[in-house]
């Protein structure tokens, strides 16, 4: 019987670019309300994996199922915050406008926005606590504030699955904690997959951790062993344990 809570099912996915493999034999199931962190080194295939889920990259082999459908059919139910969104600091677009871009899929670029579109944008901006800045120019915000707006843009289509590609890369470490707290609130009614090369930050906040370096190591939990980390990062790692729930993070490498 099909499990309705199994939102993502990848089986034996292989992707290569010009004959060079980026993903090999990747198999994973992701369930409703999972908050999964995928960590791995640069070039490990993290962005590629998210693009497979969105149907933007076609695997050479293997099967992809999102909400029991193919990625194209599922895309309207997925919110996506891509790696390093490009916005010139003087880009003359307000926060409100950036968030409204998330309605293009629903509204069509030429259509006038409906009351419903505006209500969705207001809700999304309030969820990330940026509604108060709605008329400000996007380039005038800090990296952390910009990232909140990009999350709002992904939320305005009211997705059930949120994909985040290195969302904290441009945020300094004190503001990262705030950003992860926001994700902690969002995960109550969303499934979240976040990829990052930053093990230390990610492993504290997510519920489940996978390691990806062309191959994926995942056991449906947040436990990762030194062996898996070393295999993923190809270098010796030092593990520490802290907090009430014992878990391990990479300290330095």
Q: Does 168 bind Mg ion (CB under 5 A)?
A: no
We find the least distance from the C-beta atom of residue 136 to Mg ion, in angstroms, to be 28
Cα of 93 vs its chain's centroid, Å: 24
Query: Closer CB to Mg ion, residue 94 or residue 215?
Result: 215
Q: Which is nearer to ligand ADP, 47 or 147 (CB)?
A: 47
Task: Residue 44: name its binding partner from ligand ADP, Mg ion, none (Cβ under 5 to 8 Å by kind).
Answer: ligand ADP
Length of the chain: 253
138 binds, among Mg ion, ligand ADP, none (CB under 5 to 8 A by kind): none
Task: Determine, following the binding rule CB under 6 A, whether residue 45 of this chain makes contact with ligand ADP.
Answer: yes
Cα separation, 82 vs 210, whole angstroms: 19
Options 3, 4, 43, 119; binder of ligand ADP; rule CB under 6 A: 43
What CA–CA distance (Å, rounded) separates 253 from 243? 22
CA dist 46 and 86 (Å) reads: 19
Asked if residues 40 and 253 have their Cβ atoms less than 8 Å apart, the reply is: no
**Residue 99, SS3?**
helix
**Contact residues: ligand ADP, CB under 6 A:** 17, 22, 40, 42-48
**Contact residues: Mg ion, CB under 5 A:** 46-47, 83
């Amino acid at each position: 019987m099909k499990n309705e809570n199994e939102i993502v099912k990848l089986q034996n996915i292989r992707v290569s670019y010009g004959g060079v493999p980026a993903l090999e034999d990747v198999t994973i199931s992701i369930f409703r309300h999972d908050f999964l962190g995928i960590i791995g080194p640069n070039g490990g295939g993290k962005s590629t994996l998210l693009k497979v889920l969105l149907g933007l990259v076609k695997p050479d082999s293997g099967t992809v199922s999102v909400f029991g459908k193919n990625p194209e059919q599922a895309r309207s139910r997925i919110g996506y915050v891509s790696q390093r969104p490009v916005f010139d600091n003087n880009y003359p677009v307000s926060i409100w406008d950036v968030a409204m871009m998330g309605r293009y899929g629903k509204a069509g670029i030429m259509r006038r926005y409906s009351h419903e579109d505006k209500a969705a944008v207001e809700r999304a901006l309030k969820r990330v606590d940026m509604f108060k800045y709605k008329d400000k120019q996007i380039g005038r915000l800090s990296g952390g504030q910009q990232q909140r707006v990009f999350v709002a843009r992904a939320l305005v289509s009211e997705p059930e699955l949120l994909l985040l590609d290195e969302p904290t890369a441009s945020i300094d470490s004190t503001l990262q904690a705030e950003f992860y707290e926001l994700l902690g609130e969002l995960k109550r009614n969303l499934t979240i997959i976040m990829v990052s090369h930053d093990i230390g930050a990610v492993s504290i906040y997510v519920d489940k951790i996978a390691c990806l370096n062309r191959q994926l190591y995942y056991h449906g939990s947040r436990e990762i062993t030194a062996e898996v980390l070393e295999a993923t990062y190809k270098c010796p790692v030092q593990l520490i344990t802290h907090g009430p729930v014992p878990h391990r993070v990479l300290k330095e490498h």
